[in-house]
Structure 1
Amino acid sequence: MSDITENTNIASRPAFLRTFSARDAGTLIGLVVILAVFGALVPGFFAERNLINILQQSSINACLALGMTLVIISGGIDLSVGPTAALSAVVSATMLVAGVPIPLAIAAGLAIGLACGFLNGALVAHVGLQPFIVTLGTLSTYRALALIYTGGNPVLGLPAGFRGLFNGSLLGIPFAVIIVAAVALVAWVVLKKTPFGEYLLAVGGNEEAAYIAGVPIARTKIAAYMISGLLAALAAQILMGRLGAAEPILGNLWELDAIAAAAIGGASLMGGKGSIIGTVLGAIILGAMRNGLTLMNVQSFYQLLATGLIILAAMMIDRVTRGRG
C-alpha cells in the first residue's frame, strides 16, 4: 500500500520533479547544508572559481560512481575501479608519447577498461564467484599489470592536443564537467527508460524471480561491470588531461570514493536500488566537503575519516528505510 501511495504522489508532481525521489531530495538538502556550513566558515568558498573547482574535482569521482551505481544496483560491487583506471591510463599514455594518434590512444584506454570490466563480470556471472572476492583479486591483478607495464615509473610528456580535450572549458564550464554531465544523462536514460535498466533493478532486487521472468542474468551482470570499467577508464583519461601524465599508482582508493558517492546518493549495497541523480549529488557532496576541509587546513587523513563515517551513515539510513518498507 505504501508503494502505491508513493507512486501516486510521484505521478502528481510536476514533470521536472518526477525525476527526484524522496531520497534524492534528502541528498540535495544534505548538499545545501554542507555548502551553507562551509560558506559560513570559509571565506571565499562561494567564489565562482572555487565552485567550478569543486565541480571539476567532483567530476572524476562522479564518473566512477555512475558505473559503480549500476554495478551496485545489479547486486554486485567493483573494488577494482582504481587499478582499472591506472592500467587504462598507462596504456593510453605510452601510446600517446610514442606518437600514436590521439583518438586511437584514447580508444585503446577505453577498451582496456571494457576488458577489465568484462573479466570481472564473467567471473561473477559465469564462474559464480562472489563480486567482493573477484574484484578484490582483480584490484591487485590490474594494479600489478600497470606497475609491470611501466616498470613502476610514471609516463610523462603527454601531447598538448590530448590535454586540451579534457583540460579546456566551454562558457567557463570545464570540459570534464560537461563530459561527466553527459555521461550522467545517458546513465539516467539507461536506468529509467530502457529494458537494461529494468533488468539491473530486477537482478539486484531478486535474482531468482528475475531468472524466472526471463531476464538475461549473466549478460546483465557482465554489461554492468563493463560499463563500470569503461567509466573508470574515462575518469583516467580526464585526470591524465589535467595532469599531463599517467602513473601506475593512479586511482588509489578511488573505489572508496565511488562507493561513498553511490551510497550517499541512495544506492543500497544489498542491490536493487540506486539513483543516478543521487550519485551525482553524492559525488558533489564529497567534493565540497574535501574542498572546504582543505581550505580550512584540515589534514587529509581526517578527510578520509569523514568519508568512512559518511559511508557508515548512508548504510544506516538505508537499513532504516528498508526496515520501514
Structure 2
Amino acid sequence: MKAPVPSRSVASGSYSGLDLGLRLLGIGPALILITLIIVLSFLSPVFLTPRNVSNILAQTAVITVVAMGQHLVILTRGIDLSVGSNLALASVVGALLFQAGGSATAVIIAMIVSGALVGAVNGLFYVFGRLPHPFIITLATLSICKGIALQLADGRAIPGMPEAIRVLGRNAVWGLPGSVFVVIGVGLLLLVLTRTMVWGRWIYAVGGRPEAAMAMGIPVNWVLVSTYVISGTCAGIGAVILAGRTDAGSPLFGNLLELDTIAAVIIGGASFLGGRGHLGHAVIGAIMIGVIRNALNLLNVDIFFQLIVIGVVIVIAVESDVLRNYLEGRVRVAQAGRAQ
C-alpha cells in the first residue's frame, strides 16, 4: 500500500508561510523602530518634542554616516574596526590645519582625505598583503591611528574649527540639524553608486559568491579595496560632523564607534554572510541605537544598563539573521518541490 502523497495545496500553504516569515523578517527592523517610537512617545511626553527629535538626529548623524560605509564593507563579508580611531585622527588633522591658518575648505578636504587614506591602507594591505581576514589589518590601524592622533595632539583636545564646520555640526536649518543634510547627501550618493552603477552590482556579487565573481571576470580585489576606501571616507566625513558639534578635534573621539556602526548594520537587518542588504539597513539600525539611548536617558535608566540593552538587541538581530538564512533554505527546497 502506497503512502499518501501530500497535496499540492498543503505544500503551497507551507511555501506561503515560509515566504511570509521571510518578508516579516525583512521589514522587522523598521517595524521594531516604529513600535519603539510609538511606545516611547507614551512613556515620555518629551520624547516626540521637536527639540528632542532634533537632538536624536544630531546624535545619530555620525554613527549613521560611518555605518553606511561600514555597511559596504560588511556586504563583502568584511569588517572595519578602525573607523573610530580613523575619525579621531581625521579630526586632529583638521584641527591642526585650522590652527596653522587653513581655510574651511582645506580643513574639510584634509579630514576626508585623511579618512580615505586610512581606508586605502586597510584595503590594500588586506587584498594585496593576502591577509586571511580584514579583522587583522583594521585592528592594527585602529591602534596605529589612535597612537598617531594622541602623538599629534599631545594627548589632548585641540579647540577651534572654521565657522562653516560649526554650522554643519550645530546650526539648525529648517528646524533640522545641519548634520542631517550631510547624512542625506552621503546616503543619496552611495545609493546612486550602489543601485545605478555596475560597481554596485559587483559589490553584491563579491559578497554573495566571491569565487563566482572572480570567474565572471569581476575585479574582485579592487572592488574590495574600494569598499574600505569608502568606509574610511565616511569616517572622515563623520569627523567633520563631530568636530563641528564640539568645535574641536580630539584623539579621544570615536571611542567604540566601530562597535556602534557594526551593531547598526546588523540591527538594521544586514548579514555578516555578505551579499545581502541595502543602505536603509544601516540608517534604520543607527536611528534605533540613537532612539534606545535617548529613551533610556529620558527614563533615567543607568548608563551601564544601556550597554546591556544594546548588547541584547545585537544578539536578537544576529539570531534573526540565522533564522532568515534557515527560512531561505526552506524556501529554496519548497520552490524546488513545486517545480517538480
Q: TM-score, with normalisation over the residues of structure 2?
A: 0.87
Task: For 2:176, give the aligned amino acid.
Answer: I
In structure 1, what is the equivalent of residue 114 of structure 2? 112
Q: Using the TM superposition, give the Cα deviation of residue 192 of structure 1 relative to its aligned residue in structure 2, in angstroms.
A: 1.9
SS at match of 1:45: coil
1:203-226 Cα offsets, whole Å, 9 max, x none, are: 111111100011111110110000
3-state SS of 2:167 partner: helix
Instruction: Map Cα deviations across residues 167-226 of structure 1 (whole Å, 9 max, x no partner).
Output: 222211111001101211222222222111111111111111100011111110110000
- Using the TM superposition, give the Cα deviation of residue 55 of structure 1 relative to its aligned residue in structure 2, in angstroms: 1.3
Counterparts of 1:194-205 in structure 2, within 5 Å, are 194-205=197-208
- Separation of aligned partners in 2, 1:41 and 1:314: 24
Greater shift in the superposed pair: 150-159 or 251-260 = 150-159
1:267 aligns with 2:270: yes
**Within 5 Å, which residues of 2 pair with 1:19-38?**
23=25, 25-38=27-40
Deviation sequence 1:120-169 (CA, Å, 0-9, x none):
00111111211111111111111111111111111013243431243222
**Is residue 143–residue 248 contact of structure 1 (8 Å, CA) maintained in 2?**
yes
Worse-superposed segment, 211-220 or 182-191: 182-191
Runs of 5+ in structure 2 lacking a partner? 1-11, 329-340
Q: Which runs of 5+ in 1 are unaligned?
A: 10-20
Hey, what's the Cα distance between the residues in 1 that align with 2:189 and 2:137? 27
1:140 to 140, 143, 153: 143
Which residue does the alignment assign to 1:14?
none
| Cα RMSD after superposing both structures | 1.8
Residue number in structure 2 paired with 1:191: 194
Moved more, 224-233 or 151-160: 151-160
Larger-Rg structure: 2
Deviation of 1:251 (Å): 0.2
CA deviation map 1:19-50 (0-9, x unaligned): xx765522211111111221121121111111
Counterpart position of 2:332: none
Distance 1:287 1:260 in 2: 12
Question: What is the Cα deviation at residue 303 of structure 1?
Answer: 1.4
Number of residue pairs the alignment of both structures matches: 309
Misfit runs of 4+, over 6 Å: none
Q: Does 1:229 align with 2:207?
A: no
Q: Is the 8 A contact 1:24 1:265 kept in 2?
A: no
1:179 and 2:199 correspond: no
Tell me, yes or no, if structure 1 residue 99 matches structure 2 residue 94.
no
Contact 1:265 1:277 in 2 (8 A): yes
8 Å Cα contact 1:80-1:136 kept in structure 2: yes
The 5 A counterparts of 1:1-325 are 23=25, 25-129=27-131, 130-325=133-328
Partner of 1:250, secondary structure, is coil
CA distance in 2, matches of 1:169, 1:140: 35
Give, as a single letter, the amino acid of the residue that structure 2 aligns with 1:62.
T
Superposed CA deviations along residues 32-80 of structure 1, whole A, max 9, x for unmatched, are: 1111221121121111111111111111110010000000001100010
Distance 2:84 2:302 in 1: 23
Q: Distance in 1 between matches of 2:327 and 2:297?
A: 38
Alpha-carbon contact 1:266-1:273 (below 8 Å) kept? no
